[in-house]
Chain A
Amino acid sequence: MQARLTATDLACMRGDRLLFRGLSLALGSGDVLHVTGENGTGKTSLLRILAGLLSPYAGEVSHDGAIGMLDERPALDPDQPLGIALRFWQQVDGCSDPEAALAAMELDALLDVPVRYLSTGQRKRAAMARLLCQNAPIWLLDEPLSGLDDRSQARIGETVSAHAAAGGIVVLASHQPIAVERLSVFALAEYVA
């Protein structure tokens, strides 16, 4: 898996407030970047800009390889059983091995439960299973650990490590520390305007 994600001289404007400026990144295969910063410093905005979902106020982003994103919205139909809600994405992504993703996130027992009855942590794991199925080399994870118990947190850490070891790129924004090898920390506070 070969991947590249670069950002040059990014600035982000929300409303009439400049959140950060002069931010540059260059990530290659195997890199894991932990973006830290207080609430409201623009971690989510940065991830959305990297994903191409939000236009930066200045600067540009380029990437080789598909981008997969996990944020606070799982994008799973709340009224459908988890299995059917996930199957939609498996079909869209042409997932070759959905069982492995479900097993990795321990979701087998929850497939018949409507998504709205799932707990925050279970939903997050379901969204992670969706991401695993997407087979995208670049992962942008916004608060992947919030709402998860210790065991699930460790499991996400292992998944992220495995993804990086396979040559993927992971950018994650989180308040919790995450146990991943080769992790570099990126403090957004240094770029506050």
Chain B
Amino acid sequence: MIWPLLKRDLRMLLLGGGRGGGAMLPLLFFLAVAMLYPFAVGPDAPLLAKTGGGVLWIAALLAAILPLDRLVLPDIELGLFDQLKLRGITEESVMAVRLFAHWLSFGPLLMLACFPAAALLNLDGETLQLLLLGLLAGTPGLAAIGLMIAALTAGLRAGAALSGLLLIPLALPILIFGAGALERSDPATLGFSAAISLLLVAITPFAAGAAIRAGSQG
């Protein structure tokens, strides 16, 4: 029962499934920021190399906001969760599958996009490596926060606008430890980022599932 769900989620999130965007939207956003930054601060190679990693972290964080409005809400409107529940598939398991699909649809792609972005920002090999490791540790956490927020705000009228605003403070710890590793050239800091991600990934299916269930009682 999990496989058709995952297939459907990936079709929706990766390819857009007609809901607009798909995985291209965060990816292009991320690359656009990497492209704009040198125009904004000027072609100062050492400055770009020093600050570029941090900018890419912020770009990744903001890119994670883009898919939030179509992550949960359309399926509530479709009645999908009710139908699955009648078949004994709980909101928690649906959300666990969706978390995986959501991460797959932006995490690995952003990491791939780091290669051209690093070239644009003149990042050296070591920084790129730390950035990639950091995103590997941090993006599951970003995906988890995003899914939790999408489920919590699905019932609200201004949900889409609010979700972006909510993600930023919650993602702060991941950003601090992830980008902090670049500053100090210390991969050990990434362990904190990974630990926070792990915790978030563990609680998100339950929090998001409970949010959807509570919403359906309204």
Q: Does B4 contact A (CB under 8 A)?
A: yes
Report A28-79 residues with CB < 8 Å from chain B CB. 51-55, 66-69, 71, 73-79
CB distance from A84 to the nearest CB of B (A): 9
Assuming the contacts A80-B17, A93-B87, asked whether A75 and B79 have C-beta atoms less than 8 A apart, the reply is yes
Interface of A is mostly: loop
Report B138-176 residues with CB < 8 Å from chain A CB. none
**Inter-chain contacts of A55 with B (CB < 8 A):** 217
Report B75-120 residues with CB < 8 Å from chain A CB. 77-80, 82-87, 89
Q: Does A134 contact B (CB under 8 A)?
A: yes
**Inter-chain contacts of A76 with B (CB < 8 A):** 78
Contact partner of A53 (CB less than 8 A), chosen from B4, B8, B87, B216, is B216
Q: CB-CB contacts of A139-152 with B at 8 A, as 1s and 0s?
A: 00000000000000
**Closest Cβ neighbor of B1 among chain A residues:** A92
How large, as a class, is the contact surface on chain A?
A: 20 to 34
Report B1-15 residues with CB < 8 Å from chain A CB. 1, 3-5, 8, 11-12
Q: Does B184 contact A (CB under 8 A)?
A: no
Q: CB-CB contacts of B51-79 with A at 8 A, as 1s and 0s?
A: 00000000000000000000000000111
* 9 A/B residue pairs, CB under 8 Å, sorted by A: A51-B86, A52-B86, A73-B78, A78-B78, A80-B11, A92-B4, A92-B5, A114-B18, A134-B87
